[in-house]
Chains A and B, each alone.
Chain A
Amino acid sequence: MPVITYREAVRHALAEELERDPNVVVMGEEVAQFNGAYKVTEGLLARFGPKRIVDTPISEAGFIGMGVGASMLGVRPVMELMFWSFYSVAFDQILNNAANVRYMSGGQINVPIVIRGPANGGTNVGATHSHTPENVLANHPGVKVVVPATPYDAKGLLKSAIRDNDPVMFLENTMLYGDKGEVPEEEYLIPLGKADVKRQGTDLTIVSYGRAAIHSLKAAEELQSQHGLSVEVVDLRSIRPLDIDTVLASVRRTHRLLIVEEQKPFCSVGSQIAFMVQKEAFDELDAPINRLATIDAPAIYSPPVEVEQLPNPARIVKAALATR
């Protein structure tokens, strides 16, 4: 099976869907002539031309809103935010318009738009460029939220997102763009809302997503080799819809749950998971649900300290050992 990067996997998904459906357009800042700020869209302009691959001005409210409007008439825009952090500039367009138009019209309209880009810390770009808004987005009924961790998941989920008739927020990670993984040559789709057990174990369940899931897998290795702890790692992949059943099934096997997320803790995705697990599997728990999140402050610039602000394998190991 070919081994490609996360970046290439996203690009291949875009190219395949552009090829398949003439309504798909890719838009965003620097996506065309510049070949993408993170080179995700490299080569797409040359292959698909300027009608399909469109450079926008730095104007997130304008071009995201424009994409929402175009999608109401059947265009299927895949909009790149150079950083998801810039969603706040387009908040009204995403969370009032894309999220609500279907509801406010009594179901007469649907908005088949994908908004994608990286949402992560760890690159020493400070508080304005390090937001992870999956919890904020998922708090709005009407949108779907996907956070893939691996090249395989990124490709299969993005293709499903582009074919989805609801607005899908697709959160990538600049720290993962260079990660490599096996991706089949033949076409495949991964349904939104299906978690993936990325490592099986018996003593503790770690529920995570995005880069935090990759860190959790590393931590699980150390927990096994250094501490003899058998850890199951459930990668949610999709925040909304949410595959809580896979989480519950895992908790019923291990009876301990640690949630690991690159998220500020207050009203995070993990808060929702913890609520659901205690509600539906209280008697299965042998210990309080534990959580490891980003340390609760704006993203610090200082490079060595930012590593400690975010979940990392060492912090996860410590949290796992404390989940008992």
Chain B
Amino acid sequence: MSKKTTAEADKKPENTATGESSVNAPINASLNAEGRIELYRKMVRIRRFEERSLRAYQAKKIGGFLHLYIGQEAVAVGCCSLMGPDDHVITAYRDHGHAIAVGMDTKPLMAELFGKVTGCSKGKGGSMHYFDPSRNYWGGHGIVGGQIPLGTGLAYAIKYQGKKGAAMAFMGDGAVNQGAVHEAFNLAALWDLPCIFVIENNRYSMGTSQRRSSAGTSLAQRAEAYGMAWATCNGHDVYDVRATMDRFLTAARENSKPGVVEIDTYRYRGHSVADPDKTYRTRDEIEDYQRTKDPITLFQQTLLKEGVLNQELIEKIDGEARAEADQAADFAEASPFPTPEDIQKDVYWEADNPEQRKSEGRLFFE
């Protein structure tokens, strides 16, 4: 497994085109035109969904926090495009991109933001808590790093049940300083669990830059302390994400080996939409990323060069994605809220399955 060291923390953005080696990696070379277009389409759909949800938030249709994935689309799309039937995903609270990447319908996703009963969690989870076990998507977790032991447990179950699969446990760059993450690293390495720890390094843990929060120069390199393989890759390039993750996923599925992959990425919006985004980075920095490293623009250029995309198709995909996001918002708007009677449902399996209940006594209290 090749290892690249990360460049200096807080590095200036640099212009990157799709690397030749990534394009030619078998996992990418084997993609047909429709497969490539589908990657592009998913990235566009995520962006339009996020932009639409931001407008809904500004219109006060959405409560609480809204952590947007805009700028990071190539990471979730690249990783989740590699999932086989026994591969599983878990992530933190910036979870909309992964949900769309694993194939969740955007209508219940938007309805969840609106707090509606038609939401993917019936309006009980909100933006940070999307789940779809039928698509091997285990959330959507609100506490920084808290989902990483759970992801390790998914990998434990995969191995225990003798499946050839892997768990991808996503976290941000801020999570690597949480104790639970290191405990999970140790367990995965100690027991050879098929877990890939994916650090989406968007350079800021909320408003604190990597340099101000994390000792050392590389986050993924911390894997060495646990004897795990690690790599970094370019999260602005969906081909590079796929090429790198494919190597780790193969090692996990075939040899039950864990690993840590740090993916360089960038979010254009604040930590959440409540973040005024003025104290810790410059407008120039954001614009530089948007101009030179936007994952959708770069992949669009790559696919144009490959002759897979044309202007007409680009406009069609974009129009459809905008329409889909609008339809999702219309669906959410038209849907009913849960009722007060719904508050105490979905708390206990037994309470929700009274005909199979074995316990007695009161489960709920005044």
* Chain A residues in the interface with B (C-beta under 8 A): 25, 51, 56-57, 59, 61-75, 92-93, 96-97, 101-110, 141-142, 144, 160, 163-166, 189, 191-195, 238, 240-245, 272, 276, 279
The answer to whether A164 touches B350 (Cβ under 8 A) is yes
| CB proximity of B142 to chain A, nearest CB, Å | 8
Q: Mark B337-355, 1 if CB is under 8 A from A, else 0.
A: 0000000111111101100
Chain A contacts of B90 at CB under 8 A? 69
List B172-230 residues whose CB lies under 8 Å from chain A.
Answer: 179-180, 183-184, 186-187, 190
List B315-359 residues whose CB lies under 8 Å from chain A.
Answer: 344-350, 352-353, 358-359
The answer to whether A241 touches B363 (Cβ under 8 A) is yes
Q: Contacts A65-B184, A165-B350, A242-B361 given: A72-B138 contact, CB under 8 Å?
A: yes
The CA-CA distance from A104 to B141 in the complex, in Å, is 9
Chain B contacts of A93 at CB under 8 A? 146, 149-150, 180
Q: Mark B121-159, 1 if CB is under 8 A from A, else 0.
A: 111110001011110001111110011111111111110
Chain B contacts of A108 at CB under 8 A? 121, 131-134
| CB proximity of B76 to chain A, nearest CB, Å | 19
Q: Which residue of A lies closest to B129 (CB)?
A: A104
The CA-CA distance from A94 to B41 in the complex, in Å, is 39
The answer to whether A62 touches B149 (Cβ under 8 A) is yes
The answer to whether B361 touches A66 (Cβ under 8 A) is no
Extra inter-chain contacts (11) besides given A69-B151, A72-B150, A73-B153, CB under 8 Å: A62-B184, A66-B149, A69-B138, A69-B154, A102-B346, A103-B346, A103-B347, A105-B131, A106-B119, A108-B132, A192-B361
Among B150, B161, B179, B361, residue most surrounded by chain A Cβ atoms (within 10 Å):
B361
5 contacts between A and B (CB under 8 A): A102-B349, A105-B131, A107-B122, A110-B349, A243-B362
The CA-CA distance from A55 to B360 in the complex, in Å, is 34
Chain A contacts of B280 at CB under 8 A? none
Q: Contacts A57-B186, A65-B146, A106-B125 given: A97-B141 contact, CB under 8 Å?
A: yes
Chain A contacts of B121 at CB under 8 A? 104-106, 108
| CB proximity of B282 to chain A, nearest CB, Å | 35
The CA-CA distance from A102 to B360 in the complex, in Å, is 20
Chain A contacts of B88 at CB under 8 A? 73
Q: Contacts A57-B186, A141-B347, A166-B350 given: A106-B363 contact, CB under 8 Å?
A: no
The answer to whether A70 touches B361 (Cβ under 8 A) is no
| CB proximity of A53 to chain B, nearest CB, Å | 13
The CA-CA distance from A193 to B358 in the complex, in Å, is 9
Q: Which residue of A lies closest to B361 (CB)?
A: A193
Report which of A63, A75, A166, A189 forms a contact with B157, defined as CB distance below 8 A: A75
The answer to whether B348 touches A102 (Cβ under 8 A) is yes
Chain A contacts of B119 at CB under 8 A? 106
Report which of A66, A92, A106, A160 forms a contact with B359, defined as CB distance below 8 A: A160
Q: Contacts A105-B129, A164-B350, A193-B361 given: A68-B150 contact, CB under 8 Å?
A: yes
Q: Contacts A104-B124, A109-B138 given: A166-B133 contact, CB under 8 Å?
A: no
| CB proximity of A246 to chain B, nearest CB, Å | 9
The answer to whether A66 touches B153 (Cβ under 8 A) is yes
The answer to whether B187 touches A62 (Cβ under 8 A) is yes
Report which of A56, A70, A103, A110 forms a contact with B124, defined as CB distance below 8 A: A103
| CB proximity of B324 to chain A, nearest CB, Å | 22
Chain B contacts of A193 at CB under 8 A? 359-363
Chain A contacts of B131 at CB under 8 A? 101, 104-106, 108-109
Report which of B120, B153, B160, B190 forms a contact with A68, defined as CB distance below 8 A: B153
Chain B contacts of A101 at CB under 8 A? 131, 139
The CA-CA distance from A61 to B143 in the complex, in Å, is 13
| CB proximity of B111 to chain A, nearest CB, Å | 11
Closest 4 interchain pairs by CB?
A: A69-B153, A65-B149, A62-B183, A193-B361
The CA-CA distance from A93 to B146 in the complex, in Å, is 7
The CA-CA distance from A297 to B130 in the complex, in Å, is 42
| CB proximity of A199 to chain B, nearest CB, Å | 20
Q: Which residue of B lies closest to A61 (CB)?
A: B180
The answer to whether A66 touches B352 (Cβ under 8 A) is no
The CA-CA distance from A96 to B123 in the complex, in Å, is 18
Among A68, A103, A166, residue most surrounded by chain B Cβ atoms (within 10 Å):
A103
| CB proximity of A95 to chain B, nearest CB, Å | 11
The CA-CA distance from A107 to B131 in the complex, in Å, is 10
The CA-CA distance from A77 to B80 in the complex, in Å, is 28
